[in-house]
Amino acid sequence: MDVVVCGAQKPFVRGGAELLQENLVQAIAAEGHRAELVRLPVAWEKDRLFDAPLAWRLVPVDADLVIATNFPSYFVRHPRKVVWLLHQHRGAYDAADAAWSDFGPDDPALEVQRLLSEWDNRALEEAERLYTISGVVADRLREFSGLAAKPLYHPPPLADRLHPGPFGDYVFCATRLEANKRPHLLVDSLPHTRPEVRSVVAGRGEFLDDLAARVRGQDLGDRVELRGFVPDEELVELFAGSLAVVYAPSDEDYGYVTLQAFLAGKPVVTADDAGGVLEWVEDGVTGLVTDGSPETMGAAIDRLAGDRALAEALGAAGRERVLALSWSPVVRELLGA
């Protein structure tokens, strides 16, 4: 078949959504089909929220099947539309009260929410089949739109290159440096660990200056290394050589970092409100789940630093949990094979 994967992207922002779309195109091609990725820019501000959905309604897509992913790509018109939902516009739904959302309790914002809900339901109900990337996203879709969808779990980027390695003296965090990813939870937890524990943070984003200020303010310059962007080869080795991975975003949709840590045989320290991360991290089995406070996260990291056998056991259990993930069954399901 000729398959078009549809995705929305905010200019100059690149993260898990973009990687998923690109990897999906490659996986479809690997199954013997022709696949193309079509992206349109999106604006998240509520005053411009309907511009991109309207643009998608006007885009002609000539293909046997289209697979729409994130908001608002699922507004594309096609007689055979399948939706594999990464997320709706979270700032208007489950995160409407978050600090980074521009939606509030005022009448204009509530009217935009009402209209967006109506538009979303109409566009999503057009789908021949409806899937999500996780149980968390399926639960949100059911809660806010009353629609049922099947979660489809897939391997993370670099799945074929990640490998176990020695348990080093640092905890690792690889993420976009944005407020909702909460990389500061790792930095703030370090004063509550033994002094020999250090950390490496890989990633870039608008939260970098705040994070650097926290490092300076707590005199952690010799224990926190902010690497910025790192190439894939270095990223793989940073996972492999870490003691553990700290990943505690706020109500994450899926969480590639969790799966990458497990493929590297490392346990994950997270928080009990991390969303999709908790579909993989089981406390005391594949990692340690905390309440997200600096004290409890520090205690969890310190526990692993003082018990390497525990870290190895949790990491091995995590690796066993994700080894069977494959793109082939995902593609076959999406294409209705």
Q: Are residues 258 and 224 in the same domain?
A: yes
Residue 134, domain CATH:
3.40.50
141-155 pLDDT, tens per residue?
A: 999 999 999 999 999
At residue 95, does pLDDT exceed 90? no
Closest CA to 288 of 302, 319, 275, 276: 302
Q: Are residues 56 and 107 in the same domain?
A: yes
**Which of the four pLDDT bands, split at 50, 70 and 90, describes residue 100?**
confident
Q: Are residues 128 and 189 in the same domain?
A: no
Determine, yes or no, domain membership for 337.
no
Closest CA to 269 of 158, 168, 153, 189: 189
Instruction: Give the mean pLDDT of 310-319.
Output: 98
Scan for tokens 């010799």, then name that residue: 222
105-164 pLDDT, tens per residue?
A: 889 999 999 999 999 999 999 999 999 999 999 999 999 999 999 999 999 999 999 999
Predicted local distance difference test score (pLDDT) of residue 12:
85
Determine, yes or no, domain membership for 158.
no
203, 174 Cβ separation under 8 angstroms: yes
Q: Are residues 279 and 199 in the same domain?
A: yes
φ, ψ of residue 188 to 5 degrees: the values are -70, -20
Predicted local distance difference test score (pLDDT) of residue 97:
81
Q: Are residues 177 and 274 in the same domain?
A: yes
At residue 14, does pLDDT exceed 90? no
Predicted local distance difference test score (pLDDT) of residue 101:
87
Predicted local distance difference test score (pLDDT) of residue 77:
97
Tokens standing for 105?
A: 């309790």
Residues spanned by the domain of 143: 2-152
Between the CA of residue 280 and those of 92, 135, 231, 253, 298, what are the distances in Å? 27, 11, 26, 12, 21
Q: Are residues 77 and 126 in the same domain?
A: yes
214-236 pLDDT, tens per residue?
A: 999 999 999 999 999 999 999 99
Q: Are residues 29 and 133 in the same domain?
A: yes
Determine, yes or no, domain membership for 118.
yes
Q: Are residues 25 and 91 in the same domain?
A: yes
Tokens standing for 235?
A: 């990223």
Residue where a domain stops, chosen among 152, 184, 211:
152
Residue 220, domain CATH:
3.40.50.2000
Number of structural domains in the chain: 2
Residue where a domain stops, chosen among 152, 183, 203:
152
Q: Which pTM was predicted?
A: 0.92
Q: Are residues 192 and 115 in the same domain?
A: no
% pLDDT > 70, the chain: 100
Average predicted confidence (pLDDT) for the chain:
95
Q: How far is CA 333 from the centre of its chain?
A: 21
At residue 98, does pLDDT exceed 90? no
Q: Are residues 42 and 143 in the same domain?
A: yes
Closest CA to 174 of 117, 259, 98, 81: 259
Determine, yes or no, domain membership for 332.
no
Determine, yes or no, domain membership for 101.
yes
Determine, yes or no, domain membership for 163.
no
Q: Are residues 179 and 84 in the same domain?
A: no
Predicted local distance difference test score (pLDDT) of residue 149:
97
At residue 104, does pLDDT exceed 90? no
At residue 16, does pLDDT exceed 80? yes
Q: Are residues 188 and 94 in the same domain?
A: no
Determine, yes or no, domain membership for 329.
no
Element containing residue 213 per DSSP (H, E)? helix 208-217
Closest CA to 311 of 278, 262, 238, 273: 262
Closest CA to 153 of 168, 138, 173: 138
Residue where a domain stops, chosen among 91, 125, 152:
152
Determine, yes or no, domain membership for 278.
yes
Angle between helices 232-240 and 256-263 (to 10 degrees): 60
257-308 pLDDT, tens per residue?
A: 999 999 999 999 999 999 999 999 999 999 999 999 999 999 999 999 999 9
163, 240 Cβ separation under 8 angstroms: yes
d(CA 150, CA 171): 34
d(CA 195, CA 218): 13
